[in-house]
């Protein structure tokens, strides 16, 4: 199987477990030296509405992830827009 497919599967699995969401779509994957960079679009419940005990509403967020060559997650970061992700990974 292609390594890029493995990167996508690893990123989706990690985000589903780490942020407790169901809808994850990887929208960008690239490799810089020995580090894989991925960006995923995620729909999760609005944390502000949840803290106020109001009915849930899904918001679209983006997460940038870094993985090593063994597909271990090195870091991840949440962003409000896709444009914010370009500065996070150096691309």
Tokens (6 digits) for 21: 């969401």
pLDDT value at 85 more than 90? no
Distance CA 16, CA 28 (A): 17
**What is the per-residue pLDDT across 34-81, written as a single tens digit (0 to 9) for each?**
999 999 999 988 878 878 888 888 889 999 999 999 999 999 999 988
Number of other CB atoms surrounding residue 16 within 10 Å: 14
Mean pLDDT score, 12-20? 91
Where do the domains of the chain lie, and which CATH numbers do they carry? Answer: 3-86 (3.10.450.630)
Would the CA dihedral through 72, 82, 24, 54 be positive or negative? positive
pLDDT value at 11 more than 60? yes
Tokens (6 digits) for 11: 């990123």
| pLDDT reported for residue 89 | 46
> pLDDT band at 87, cuts 50/70/90?
low
């Amino acid at each position: 199987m292609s390594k890029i497919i493995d990167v996508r599967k690893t990123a989706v699995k990690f985000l589903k477990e780490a942020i407790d969401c169901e809808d994850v779509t990887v929208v960008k994957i690239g490799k810089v030296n020995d580090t894989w960079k991925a960006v995923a679009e995620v729909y999760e419940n609005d944390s502000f509405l949840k803290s106020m005990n109001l009915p849930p509403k899904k918001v679209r967020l983006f997460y940038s992830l870094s993985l090593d060559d063994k597909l271990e997650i090195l870091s991840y970061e949440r962003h409000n827009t896709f444009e914010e992700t370009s500065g996070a990974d150096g691309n």
